[in-house]
Chains A and B, each alone.
Chain A
Amino acid sequence: MILKKYSTSITICLALALFFTIVQLGISGGLISGYWVTNLYLMGINIILAASLNLINGFTGEFSLGHAGFMAVGAFTGGIVTANLGLPFPLAVAAGMLAAAIAGVIVGLPTLRLRGDYLAIATLGFGEIVRVVLMNIDYVGGASGLMGIPEVVSWPVIFISVVLSLLLIRNFICSSHGRACLAVRENDVAAQMMGVNITYYKVLAFVIGAALAGLAGVLYAHYYSIIQPKEFSFMLTFDVLVMVMVGGLGSLTGSVVGAVLLTIASAFLQAIPELRMVLYAVLLIAAAVFRPQGLFGEKEVTLQTFKRWGGVFSGLAGHKQAD
């Protein structure tokens, strides 16, 4: 009885453990090249970024382009904690997320009065201000960036961060608080009449999204060891936005798939740097024109989906046998 109740969770845990082990063995055994290990880590960071941006843009219906700024706040705060203060990595994670969350409140509160495109431009402006300010602070290395950050990020760290981030977002969305965010997106006037404090939930979405972007920043800093303010320009936000758009606004699994696909595409296109961005741009326009709702729309892929597909496939197989 208990086994049946938790069968889904157990299946997922087993699948994750299996995936983790295979990749870990592949890395330790040298089967996965250094280039792909880097891209694997990037994939993890991108998943966290895309899922957290989706929480703001897709689920709550706000229009933020400030993700690079939140990530930068996390990266530099984390970097200061380990490189400048010599404190341990977990403290860097906590400080980075906290600082980014505070930035989320600061950006979230005044921008509440703004809608749609105005919010987009204002948050983009926030990101640019963060970048320019960081460039002018000597304590974090100015334009040449912060160096000597310990390289402590490994596959287990990335894996656990991604799984926990996704779990946190999923739990949030599938709770009464997540439903309140969805209500804000769908119709904020009606949401208020349902007793939803829309100010609180808009800011909350920014805070959670920003904190996770901060986590992605801390991971990024502790993988590359050197971070420069110019890496966190609005181009980075655009990258994340594209992942969210390709996957589907309001679909968590879509964000994961979008992040994975675009990281892989970007890795392959790295070999032809001249055309990489051009192809990327064409993909982007094509995706927007031909599938504006993203690959997944708002749908989620769950174990049930696989079971249904399984049913379809076994049905097809049965059909073939009958032929």
Chain B
Amino acid sequence: MQDLLQQLLNGLSQGSIYALIAVGYTMIYGIIQLINFAHGDVIMVGAYVALGAALMGFGFIPSLLMAMIACAILGVVIERVAYRKVRPVSRLAALTSAIGVSLFLEYIMMYFLGADIRTYPPGILVGRTYSLGGVLITNKDLLVLGTTLVLVVILQYIIFRTRTGKAMRAVSYDGQAAQLMGVNVNNTVAITFFIGSAMAAAAGILYGIYFNSVQPLMGLMPGLKAFIAAVLGGIGSIPGAMLGGILLGMTESLVAGFGGSMYRDAVAFIILILILLIKPTGLLGKGVQEKV
């Protein structure tokens, strides 16, 4: 029982990180129907920016903010340079471009910073462990959960309480109609990348602290898994992405904790194929009837 709770707690922390990444994926997919393969690598860039800030002596919150701002700008640049022109032409070309951006970010980092695994300076978070009825909770867990919670609340506010959020929802519902109603679609797409990438940066620093490792390929797997989390929850749905992320994190943690650690990376993909076969719209997604 204790073991189970412990695994669930670990899963919750890891799932929150997936959830933060998945939120960005789902927003971007919802608005331009593109799997932004580079999204995972934005996480990595965020982790490095935060690492740089931390090494200069900044604390957790300033480092987090710097990483978020840097990645938000990076996200906008990626959309402008690699996607905007391609998107209307061909989805396969857009996907190819996304794969290109992903490779570019990974290997330009490797070129300049090397492939070594780096870690955050201990000053950023002094490790503490609390015991709650035998279940061990670290302040890493608390940091991850707290940061995720705050960011998600802010995000919900932006999307449902501001004009920008309204425009984003309009474009993701029907881009052409939104344009006819006077929404600037290009700007709205850019803002979506801005916000989504900022979330990814936050996920990056949390991932780096939680697993104590920052390296150029760190974004690859969490990126893919977060996309799966987004599909699991129902692509385009932000609560769905949160739910999908946390469910995926917990399932992985349970599989790993009870003897299947070698299969840990396959779990996500098996979940993906199952959900696509049983309920392709995801847990919280809305069905779309195809018209003949």
Contacts and interface: CB of A to CB of B under 8 A. Distances in A.
- The answer to whether A and B touch directly, with their CB atoms under 8 angstroms apart, is yes
Given A132-B266, A241-B96, A281 B107 contact: yes
B73 interface: no
Interface stretch (A90-98, A115-123, A197-205, A217-225): A115-123
Contacts of B265: 128, 132
Interface in B114-166: none
A126 B262 CA distance: 17
B103 A125 contact: no
A322 interface: no
Interface stretch (B53-61, B245-253, B271-279): B271-279
A136 B93 contact: no
Contacts of A4: none
A277 B103 contact: yes
Interface size, A (range):
35 or more
Contact of B90 (A120, A124, A242, A293): A293
Give the one of B81, B93, B100 with max A CB within 10 A: B100
Nearest to A128: B269
Nearest to B98: A288
B79 interface: no
Given A118-B280, A281-B101, A281-B104, A245 B272 contact: no
B33 interface: yes
Given A117-B35, A118-B280, A132-B263, A282 B100 contact: yes
A129 B266 contact: yes
Interface in A270-323: 274-278, 280-285, 287-289, 292-293
A289 B91 CA distance: 12
Nearest to A294: B93
B292 interface: yes
A276 B103 CA distance: 11
B96 A242 contact: yes
Nearest to B277: A110
Contacts of A212: none
Contacts of B262: 132, 135-136
Interface in B165-217: none
B42 to A, nearest CB: 15
A114 interface: yes
A189 interface: yes
B276 A122 contact: yes
Given A110-B277, A135-B262, A278 B94 contact: no
A275 B109 CA distance: 11
A249 B92 contact: yes
A293 B106 CA distance: 26
A245 B86 CA distance: 13
A41 interface: no
Contacts of A117: 29, 33-35, 91, 95
Question: Which of B94, B95, B106 is the most central at the interface, judged by chain A CB atoms within 10 Å of its CB?
Answer: B95
Nearest to A193: B292
Given A113-B280, A128-B266, A284 B100 contact: yes
A238 interface: yes
Interface string A241-262: 1100100010000000000000
Contacts of A280: 103
Contacts of A293: 89-90, 93
Contacts of B22: none
Nearest to B221: A128
A63 B92 contact: yes
Contacts of A116: 91
A132 B280 CA distance: 24
A133 interface: yes
Given A121-B35, A121-B228, A292 B107 contact: no
Interface string A31-67: 0000000000000000000000000010000010000
A40 to B, nearest CB: 25
A129 B269 contact: yes
Contacts of A113: 276-277, 280
A52 to B, nearest CB: 16
Contact of B272 (A57, A122, A274): A122
A292 B108 contact: no
A288 B90 CA distance: 9
Given A241-B99, A277-B107, 18 more contacts: A110-B273, A113-B276, A116-B91, A117-B33, A117-B35, A117-B95, A121-B231, A122-B273, A125-B268, A126-B269, A238-B99, A249-B92, A275-B111, A280-B103, A285-B97, A285-B100, A289-B81, A292-B86
Interface of A: 57, 63, 110-111, 113-114, 116-118, 120-122, 124-126, 128-129, 132-133, 135-136, 189, 238, 241-242, 245, 249, 274-278, 280-285, 287-289, 292-293
19 contacts: A57-B92, A117-B35, A128-B266, A129-B269, A242-B96, A242-B99, A277-B107, A278-B107, A278-B108, A278-B111, A280-B103, A282-B100, A285-B82, A285-B104, A288-B82, A288-B94, A292-B90, A292-B93, A293-B90
Leading 4 A-B pairs by shortest Cβ distance: A284-B100, A125-B269, A292-B93, A281-B104
